[in-house]
């Protein structure tokens, strides 16, 4: 069970990061976490308010160092950022998240080759088409409560950035 952090522990790393270091055999430091997050950026074509909100998400990711239980909040924020970007791109405040993703994929604004973590095979849109169902389901699970603390925050940030950057290509 999560507990309210004690004042004298606020600037200390969450103990779970030490466990990760023990399991991997490599000490994980705030400097390493920052160096992984810092280069994940949105391009200059992305609207400033989306960039600003994405930077809030990156800051949440950094603060997981001190409270790993912020990871689900950061994860939810990535979905909120993607939905916000879609709504701005299509000037649409009413359409469901799933339908906005589908529209972006169908218009080939979102493509597998635009994601840094994808090695695409013969079907170069397989991953992007899966996002139509997966992203809303993950967002809903995160928004309606989950006790899952198994997150790869760097991967989540990268997917979010790649998704948004593709929407606002030159």
pLDDT over 90 at 51, yes or no: yes
Range of the domain at 144: 14-167
- Quick check: is 5 in a domain? no
Structural domain contains residue 8: no
What pLDDT is attached to residue 145?
A: 74
Give the pTM. 0.91
Higher per-residue pLDDT: 15 or 31: 31
Q: Higher-confidence residue: 151 or 75?
A: 75
Structural domain includes residue 1:
no
Please enumerate in sequence order all residues whose Cβ is within 8 A of that of 56, keeping only pairs 6 or more positions apart, or say none: 77
The tokens for 47 are: 């609207």
Three-state SS for the chain is CCCCCCHHHCCCCCHHHHHHHHHHCCCCCHHHHHHHHCCCCCCCCCCHHHHHHHHHHHHHHHHCCCCHHHHHHHHHHHHHHHHHHHHHHHCCCCCCHHHHHHHHHHCCCCCHHHCCCCCCCCCCCHHHHHHHHHHHHHHHHHHCCCCCCCCCHHHHHHHHHHHHHHHCCC
Q: Is the pLDDT of residue 31 over 90?
A: yes
User: Within a domain: residue 77?
Assistant: yes
In total, how many domains does the chain have?
A: 1
pLDDT in tens, 95-154: 999 999 999 999 999 999 899 888 766 667 889 999 999 999 999 988 887 666 566 899
User: Is residue 6 in some structural domain?
Assistant: no
The verdict on residue 91 lying in a domain is yes
2 belongs to a structural domain: no
Is residue 155, in this structure, part of any structural domain at all? yes
């Amino acid at each position: 069970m999560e507990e309210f952090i004690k004042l004298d522990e606020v600037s200390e790393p969450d103990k779970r990061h030490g466990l990760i270091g023990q399991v991997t055999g490599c000490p994980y430091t705030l400097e390493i976490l920052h160096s992984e997050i810092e280069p994940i950026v949105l391009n200059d074509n992305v609207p400033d308010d989306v960039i600003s909100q994405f930077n809030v998400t990156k800051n949440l990711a950094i603060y997981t160092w001190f409270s790993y239980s912020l990871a689900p909040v950061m994860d939810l924020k990535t979905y909120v950022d993607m939905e916000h970007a879609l709504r701005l791109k299509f000037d649409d405040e009413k359409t469901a998240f799933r339908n906005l993703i589908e529209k972006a994929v169908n218009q080939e604004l979102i493509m597998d080759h635009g994601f840094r973590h994808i090695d695409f095979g013969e079907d170069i849109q397989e991953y992007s088409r899966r996002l139509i169902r997966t992203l809303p389901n993950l967002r809903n699970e995160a928004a309606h409560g989950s006790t899952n603390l198994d997150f790869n925050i760097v991967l989540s940030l990268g997917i979010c950035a790649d998704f948004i950057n593709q929407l606002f290509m030159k």
